[in-house]
Amino acid sequence: MGLPVSQILLVTGFCLILIGLAGIFVHRNILRIIIGFSLIDTGIHVVMVATGYVTGGTAPIIDAALDKANAATNAVDPIPSALVVTAIVIGFSVTAIMLSFAIRLYDARKTLDIDAFTESKW
Amino acid sequence: MVEALMHPLNIFLFGLGGSFLIPLLYRIAKPLPAVIFVLALAGIVAVSGACLWAVYHGQPVLESFTAGSAPPYSINLRVGPWEGVCAFSVNIVALLAAWHLWDRLRQNYAALLLFLLLIMGVNGMVMTRDLFNLFVFLEIVSIATYGLLGFDGTPAALAAGFKYILATVLASTFFLLGTALLYHVTGTLNIDDMIVHRAMIAGPIGTTALLLVLSCLIIELKPFPANGWGLDVYQSASSGVAALVSGAVSAGVFFALFKLLPLFENYLTLIAVSGGITFLFSNLAGLRQTNVQRMLGYSSIAQMGLLTLALALMRQPGADASMPLVVGGLFVNHLLAKAGLFFLAGAVNRPQVDDWSALAGRPLIMLIFAILLVAIAGLPPFPGFWSKWELVIRVAAAGHFGWIAVILIGSLLEIAYMFRWFNQATRAAPEQGSLDAPLGRLLAAGLCAVFLCVSGYVAADLSGAASLWIFAPLGAAAFLCLFDWLPGRLKSMLMLILVLLLGIWIVGPVEGISRLFAVLLLSGGLVVASASSYRADSRPGYYPLMALLLLSIAALLRTRTSLEFFFSWEMITLSSYFLIAHARSAYPYALPFLLFSIASAFCLLAGFAMAAAANGTIDLAAFGAAGKDAWPAFVLLAVGFLIKAGAAGVHIWLPGAYAEADDDLSAMLSAVVSKVAIFGLFSVTYLAIRSEIGLDMAHVMGWVGLLTTLLGAAFALRQTDMKRMLAYSSMSQLGYIVTAIALMSHLGWVTAFYLVANHLMVKGILFLAVAGVILRTGTRLLGENGGLVRNMPFTFAAVATALISMSGLPPLAGFGGKWLLLSAMVEKGWYGLAALAVLATFVGFLYMFRLAYAVFLGERKARFEAIAEAPLALLVPQYVLIIAIFALTFFPKLFMDPVSAAIDPAFASTLVWDGMSLETIYGYWNPIPVMAITVAIAMVLFFVVWLRYIYGYRRAPTTGVTVFYAFYQPVLSRLSRPVAIAFWRGISDLTLSAAGSVRQIYTGDGQTYCLYVLWYVIAVYVTGTLVR
Amino acid sequence: MKRVFAIVAVLMFAAIFFGLVRGYSERQTRSPLAEYYLTQVPRELGAPNVVTGILITYRGFDTLGEVAVLFMVAASVGVLLASKSGENTQVTNAASIDESEPSELVRTGAEVILPLIFLFGAYVIMNGHLSAGGGFQGGAVVASGVMLLMLASPATQLHHGFLSVTESLAGVLYVSIGILGIVFADGFLDSHILPLGTFGTLLSAGAIPLISALLGIKVGAELSVVIDRFRR
């Protein structure tokens, strides 16, 4: 039968996180680092959705495919989906803030290299 | 209706509603956002205050449900006592921060709404009982912080803000992942549910999830070494924002950790280690910091580490009851003190520690500054002190002695850099102050100080030590502060009256040895303190502190528990430190004084804690029952008192502090304050006898005492500065007393007490006499004085009397003392020590004679022709003391009988050390043969020396006083090589270089900081899984 | 050196994640909480879309929180990017217009697609309680339309005052509806203040569609502001 669907999603999500992590540390450019963070976020969202999957479940929306009576036995877990909506919004917000910081930093130093921003230390 | 308004949910309605309204109102009229902001913030404070009030008055925890259904189906909020205290104190600080930041906030409505939501978010983190909701509030707080950090337009602030974002986003990512996985394994997001079903959190997924959540929380608290991003923000953000990050944001995260702690039951050690490392290393790295805000950042991080450590340690079985005092106290203490210091840093606006000398001449700012520093250092009377005490006691009771060392060493380091900062402020002359800080800017910091005082009393009450008499010294000082605008002499009078009345009241019920000390120190203290009226200047703060010092000594003598003792002990230390810091020239010496004093106090603390662990009580009287296993406690206590007594090796704080303090204060320090250490030594050996510990210890102490005597005398002989010489002489004399106590016999103790009285009087006279000389001639150097006998005959007479009495020449009291000491030693069979004592007495005579000769005899300098006798204010106390010496000399029985009676009970119970009874001593009291022996020995010594002088050093005879004893110096230089100074300097250099290398890890590179964060998570994960 | 540490750290994480994947077994049953939601959301709240029901009612407090997050982001991005541009806004704007006039294709495409996007956004917002979608999703769709508009005609100026009043008003209304829940129903954010209506119709499920709409308006306005700020 092969791998269950959620396992595949899980692996995908974790791979995205790892790629994001690697991106954060391999690149010196602030924008690329921010992209790394976005990837991590996405990866986590995928993982969250994957953990909500129940074998054979369908979307937790009462419609033609799912009637009220069977909702409790045929749908996937709706909670991770609900959490993911919130998490996505927060992820977006953080990315927006990081980008605006990046713009201000670029204005200050005319570079996006993270090495240029080490004046406070020790 | 009112009840509905006071519902915790309203905090969020105020926060959200207020901030959503702000842009709308901005479009209507520009000033409206500020109005709604103030209303909303005040509403939040009021609601949280009302909640706390309700919970405090016995209402069960306030639960609020949302969405009309019960948890775990919907999110619920809870306010219990913990939440109430945390939320209310954070909101109060937020109100102060808003006041502090007002000029910035009102310029931009976005700042107003960010601020409001930040505070609401912290309240949410405190109150919510849903894990994911906790994440949402964490993000609200984080994003509001990011926004506020962006308001500081400087590149450094932006860069710091960006690093902060990188690290915290990484951490919260792990929190999110952990939360999702925790839901996966437990099927709930409700924290209470999760705690109930925590057995389900097992297996690889559950463990990993838990560790991810844990590591996120720890990282948000900025653990060492993954905390460079936090430091950068503290350094470069504006002071108000830094205060918020340090106080409010950390408070929220800490509370989240507190709330989730039942889930982390298996990882308490991990949490404790993380906190301990952070506390120790952050304080170490802070030592090298010169930027004020960054230094405060190190301290903030360290304090959070301490809180984490305390939380984990208090969670251990049996300590839960102390949790409110320890964790609550440390929390409130740090919140208020750190926020206050950041506010003050903002108001003073001097980024470098060195520039804080601008504070000179601003007593109010100094007062606020001092209160905040004392509080952050965990010293009394603030909540941090009571919490630290309780923490150490509890940790000792659990047998984790290693943690005590971590806590105390870390605290000592923190005190070092915090008070170095204060020292800078005391360096400049009042007229050099150049500070422009209007009262309004100081309000926030000042209120923090006020709240600290209040919460200090509450904490004292919690720890069961709040009684009127123990706070009376502080009350008296506060009362005198109110009258600090009066002229100096009036204040001096007021202080004396107050000390007299309160002092008698405080020591009223004291019995036994303590009563003798009480009478002696209180009356001696009053006499010496009365000399302060020779100065007409205002001396802002001096008289309140003097009252605090004297009354604390009185209180110390009354204490019955080790907590009370330690409290009064620290009050004495602090008041003497601040008094010494009054003299500007003392600033290089005030810090070593404080550090050695605190080190001594920490030895006491550790000793008390160990004794309490052995006895199960902090009652001092129970110490006698400690048993043999408690010997480390007694050693620690003895070491603590010896440090404070200036024993050889740890004496280096003494000469500078005594010499550079104000002239009349030196008399007080040497004559009265030093006796407090002797009293402590008395008490601890008294208890050690009763518990049959420590004969060997006593012998060691005897040697330490005489070594101190000899070294002190040798150093004194080399001095050319009168006050320094007297300081070393004081050290030398205390050595005798230590030895006498170490004899641990009836005779030895009577002697010790006799010597204490003698030294008190003699040193009081000498320092006051020297104060008069300095007042008239303006110099402290022996060589520059001379021939003053005709100008100052009364002073000379006083010095001569004191000299005779101190050197142990017959017939004055000192002779009796020395003789008693020798008899006691011989009785005990300590012949080697007795010989040393004779030698030291000889050296003592030499330097004392030199003092009298150089100043009063010899050739008079031309410029001293017209100088007058010392003022009456100085002479009267001297002559009062002289009368006392004569009384002691001619009616020793008057004095000896009560002493003997007080000491008897200690020995009656133990036959082993039953010494010579007093009658026997009187039987031997035949001065003539003893005088003959002493004089003969002194003659022989003098002759030997003279012979060597004739044969070895005969050159052109030098006149002039500086070379009066030039000959002895090579002889004694071997003794007085500054080994101790070199040793302690080495320690200090080593610590500083360690601090230097530790902080090298903060490279300033955001990416590296992220890497630290990542590795921290890995470390937590690996240790977490291994521990399990 | 640092890079080695970084790679090792990432590998360590790979190991941690591997452990997670290996320990993971797909769930066969729903948690009691999920079952409760799956039965109660359609029955009690009258919303076919269980996720929206959870989001807006049971976890409405979260949702309010994330609205606050977006709100703060709009405000702080505004401050961060407005405070610096100040004097040179005009110059850069003029320059960018000169250089990058959008292509014919984009402009025409936008003219065709934009109304559809906005319509779709509105649909997603209003049908959040019935089918996949909701306020956030719809708001994001609307904002993507705004983005397309900006790409197609860079000279477009958004009316910030209008947008901020809109988002502010939507937020205040949202909170007020929550308070109405305390007064007229069982608690803050309880959606039973309006009748449940007929299951599966547009105007049903109590206050959920109303809140959805407010969310959509607010999110759309906020995202548009954020996007516009980045345009400079």
Residue ranges of the domains in chain A?
5-56+72-116
Sign for the CA dihedral angle at B167, B171, B174, B175 comes to negative
The average pLDDT across B645-669 equals 90
pLDDT, residue B945, reads 63
- Same-domain status, B712 and B677: no
Residue B939 lies in a domain: yes
Print burial letters for B924-944: b (CB count within 10 Å at least 16), e (below 16).
eeeeeebeeebeeebeebeee
- Smallest Cα–Cα separation from B467: which of B561, B392, B329, B391? B561
CB contact under 8 A, A77 and C54: no
pLDDT, residue B92, reads 94
| Partner C contacted by A4 (CB < 8 A) | yes
Residue contacts between A and C (CB atoms, under 8 Å): 151
Q: Please give the C-alpha separations between residue C180 and each of A30, B6, C188, in angstroms, as whole numbers.
A: 46, 17, 7
More confident residue, B260 or A117: B260
Q: Answer whether B35's CB lies under 8 Å from C186's CB.
A: no
pLDDT, residue B210, reads 92
| Partner B contacted by A10 (CB < 8 A) | no
Residue in C with minimal Cα distance to B131: C62
Gap between the Cα atoms of B808 and B830, Å rounded: 20
pLDDT tens digits for range B312-336: 998 877 677 888 899 999 999 999 9
pLDDT at B949 > cutoff 60: no
pLDDT tens digits for range C152-161: 887 777 788 8
Q: How far is B1007 from chain A (nearest CA, A)?
A: 6
pLDDT at B952 > cutoff 60: no
pLDDT, residue B957, reads 42
pLDDT at B695 > cutoff 80: no
- Same-domain status, B540 and B617: yes
Q: Answer whether B51's CB lies under 8 Å from B82's CB.
A: no
Residue in A with minimal Cα distance to B132: A83
- Same-domain status, B47 and B26: yes
List chain B residues with CB under 8 Å of A88: none
- Same-domain status, B832 and B813: yes
pLDDT tens digits for range B279-289: 999 999 999 99
* Cα B480–chain centre separation: 22
Gap between the Cα atoms of A51 and B736, Å rounded: 77
The average pLDDT across B3-26 equals 85
Percentage above 70 pLDDT, chain C: 92
Window 8-37 of A: residues touching C by CB (8 A cutoff) are: 10-11, 14, 17-18, 21-22, 25-26
- Same-domain status, B677 and B700: no
Window 116-155 of B: residues touching A by CB (8 A cutoff) are: 132, 136, 139, 142-143, 146-147, 150, 155
Average pLDDT over chain B, rounded to whole? 86
List chain C residues with CB under 8 Å of B208: 16, 19-20
- Same-domain status, B521 and B607: yes
pLDDT tens digits for range B353-364: 888 888 888 888
Contacts (Cβ under 8 Å, ≥6 apart) of B196: none
Would you place residue B960 in the very low, low, confident or very high pLDDT band (cuts 50, 70, 90)?
Answer: very low
Would you place residue B923 in the very low, low, confident or very high pLDDT band (cuts 50, 70, 90)?
Answer: very low
pLDDT tens digits for range B164-198: 999 999 999 999 999 999 998 888 899 998 999 88
More confident residue, B924 or B381: B381
List chain B residues with CB under 8 Å of C78: 110
pLDDT, residue C89, reads 45
Q: How far is A27 from chain C (nearest CA, A)?
A: 10
pLDDT at B926 > cutoff 90: no
Q: Which two tokens stand for residue C177?
A: 């509806």
Q: Answer whether B1014's CB lies under 8 Å from B227's CB.
A: no
CB contact under 8 A, A109 and B155: yes
Residue B455 lies in a domain: no
Q: Residue C9: count other Cβ atoms within 10 Å of its Cβ.
A: 21
Of B402-411, B846-855, C1-10, the one with minimum mean pLDDT is: B846-855
Which of C37, C49, C51, C231 would best serve as a mutation to test chain A binding (most A beta carbons within 10 A)? C51
Full domain range(s) for residue B735: 694-887+932-977
pLDDT at B423 > cutoff 70: yes
- Same-domain status, B662 and B769: no
Q: Which region, left, alpha or beta, applies to residue B378 given φ > 0 means left and ψ of -120 to 50 means alpha?
A: left
pLDDT at B914 > cutoff 60: no
Gap between the Cα atoms of C131 and B111, Å rounded: 38
- Same-domain status, B714 and B678: no
Q: How far is B1000 from chain A (nearest CA, A)?
A: 6
CB contact under 8 A, C161 and B27: yes
pLDDT tens digits for range B518-531: 999 999 999 999 99
The average pLDDT across B879-894 equals 83
pLDDT, residue B694, reads 62
pLDDT tens digits for range B73-92: 888 888 988 999 999 999 99
* Cα B902–chain centre separation: 32
| Partner C contacted by B136 (CB < 8 A) | yes
pLDDT at B994 > cutoff 90: yes
pLDDT tens digits for range B191-210: 998 999 888 888 888 999 99
Window 54-73 of C: residues touching A by CB (8 A cutoff) are: 54-55, 59, 62-63, 65-66, 69-70, 72-73
List chain B residues with CB under 8 Å of A37: 166, 169-170, 173
pLDDT, residue B967, reads 59
- Interface partners of chain C (CB pairs < 8 Å, 3 or more) are A, B
CB contact under 8 A, C12 and B64: no
Question: Residue B266 gets which letter from DSSP?
Answer: G
Which residues are bridge partners to B63 per DSSP? B78
| Partner B contacted by A25 (CB < 8 A) | yes
- Same-domain status, B737 and B646: no
- Same-domain status, B581 and B730: no
Reported CATH class of domain A5-56+72-116: mainly alpha
Which among B21, B117, B143 has CB closest to C172? B21
Gap between the Cα atoms of B567 and B454, Å rounded: 17
pLDDT, residue B972, reads 61
The total number of structural domains that make up chain B: 3
Residue type, B995: A
Q: Is A83 helix (H, G, I), strand (E, B) or coil?
A: helix
More confident residue, C25 or B572: B572
- Residue for token digits 């528990």? B561
Sign for the CA dihedral angle at B981, B987, B990, B992 comes to negative
The average pLDDT across B959-973 equals 56
pLDDT, residue C91, reads 43
Segment (H or E) for C33: helix C32-40
Gap between the Cα atoms of B464 and B522, Å rounded: 27
pLDDT tens digits for range B667-689: 999 999 999 999 988 888 777 76
Q: Which long-range contacts (CB under 8 A, 24 or more apart) does B466-472 make?
A: B469/B505, B469/B506, B469/B555, B469/B558, B470/B555, B470/B559, B470/B564, B470/B567, B470/B568, B471/B381, B472/B502, B472/B505, B472/B506, B472/B551, B472/B555
Which among C20, C32, C179 has CB closest to B187? C32
For the residues of B533-579, what is the DSSP string, one character each?
GG--S--TTHHHHHHHHHHHHHHHHH--BHHHHHHHHHHHHHHHHHH
pLDDT at C92 > cutoff 50: no
List chain C residues with CB under 8 Å of A89: 66, 69-70, 136, 219
Q: Answer whether B592's CB lies under 8 Å from B657's CB.
A: yes
- Same-domain status, B615 and B734: no
- Smallest Cα–Cα separation from B212: which of B251, B267, B163, B146? B267
Gap between the Cα atoms of B180 and B175, Å rounded: 9
List chain A residues with CB under 8 Å of B173: 37, 40-41, 44
Gap between the Cα atoms of B497 and C60, Å rounded: 67
pLDDT, residue B974, reads 62
CB contact under 8 A, A79 and C77: no
pLDDT, residue B958, reads 43
Q: How far is C92 from chain A (nearest CA, A)?
A: 13
| Partner A contacted by C198 (CB < 8 A) | no
Q: How far is C112 from chain B (nearest CA, A)?
A: 34
For the residues of B855-878, what is the DSSP string, one character each?
HHSSPPPGGGTT--PPPHHHHHHH
Residue B945 lies in a domain: yes
pLDDT tens digits for range B217-264: 999 999 988 999 999 999 999 999 999 999 899 999 999 999 999 999
Residue in C with minimal Cα distance to A71: C38
pLDDT tens digits for range A29-46: 999 999 999 999 999 999
Gap between the Cα atoms of B700 and B238, Å rounded: 55
The average pLDDT across A12-23 equals 93
| Partner C contacted by A101 (CB < 8 A) | yes
List chain B residues with CB under 8 Å of C33: 72-73, 187-189
Q: Is B1024 helix (H, G, I), strand (E, B) or coil?
A: helix
| Partner C contacted by A109 (CB < 8 A) | no
pLDDT, residue B285, reads 93
Percentage above 70 pLDDT, chain B: 91
Which of B66, B75, B1003 would best serve as a mutation to test chain C binding (most C beta carbons within 10 A)? B66
For the residues of B891-959, what is the DSSP string, one character each?
-HHHHHHHHHHHHHHHHHT-STT----HHHHHHH--HHHHHHHHHHHHHHHHHHHHHHHHHHS--SPP-
Question: Residue B246 gets which letter from DSSP?
Answer: I
Q: Is B614 helix (H, G, I), strand (E, B) or coil?
A: helix
Q: Please give the C-alpha separations between residue B938 and each of A78, B835, B838, C36, C159, in angstroms, as whole numbers.
A: 99, 12, 8, 100, 102
More confident residue, B176 or B107: B176
List chain A residues with CB under 8 Å of C43: 68
Residue B598 lies in a domain: yes
CA atoms within 13 A on the CB side of B543: 31
pLDDT at B824 > cutoff 50: yes
CB contact under 8 A, A18 and C17: yes
Residue type, B47: V
pTM exceeding 0.90: yes
Q: How far is A80 from chain B (nearest CA, A)?
A: 7
For the residues of C96-130, what is the DSSP string, one character each?
HHHHTPPPHHHHHHHHHHHHHHHHHHHHHHHTTTT
Q: How far is C49 from chain A (nearest CA, A)?
A: 4
CA atoms within 13 A on the CB side of B805: 31
Q: How far is C130 from chain B (nearest CA, A)?
A: 20
Percentage above 90 pLDDT, chain B: 45
Would you place residue C51 in the very low, low, confident or very high pLDDT band (cuts 50, 70, 90)?
Answer: confident
Q: Which two tokens stand for residue B770?
A: 């020297």
pLDDT tens digits for range C178-220: 888 787 777 787 777 777 777 777 777 778 888 888 888 888 8
Q: Residue B403: count other Cβ atoms within 10 Å of its Cβ.
A: 22
Q: How far is C168 from chain A (nearest CA, A)?
A: 18
Would you place residue B971 in the very low, low, confident or very high pLDDT band (cuts 50, 70, 90)?
Answer: low
The average pLDDT across B543-555 equals 94
pLDDT tens digits for range B707-733: 999 889 888 888 888 899 999 999 999
Q: How far is A34 from chain C (nearest CA, A)?
A: 15
List chain A residues with CB under 8 Å of C34: 77-79
Q: Answer whether B210's CB lies under 8 Å from B201's CB.
A: yes
pLDDT at B916 > cutoff 50: no
The average pLDDT across C13-33 equals 86
- Smallest Cα–Cα separation from B74: which of B195, B177, B193, B178? B193
pLDDT, residue B912, reads 33
- Same-domain status, B639 and B752: no
Residue in B with minimal Cα distance to C176: B17
- Name the burial class of residue C26, with classes exposed (0-12), middle (13-18) and buried (19+) by CB atoms within 10 angstroms of its CB: middle
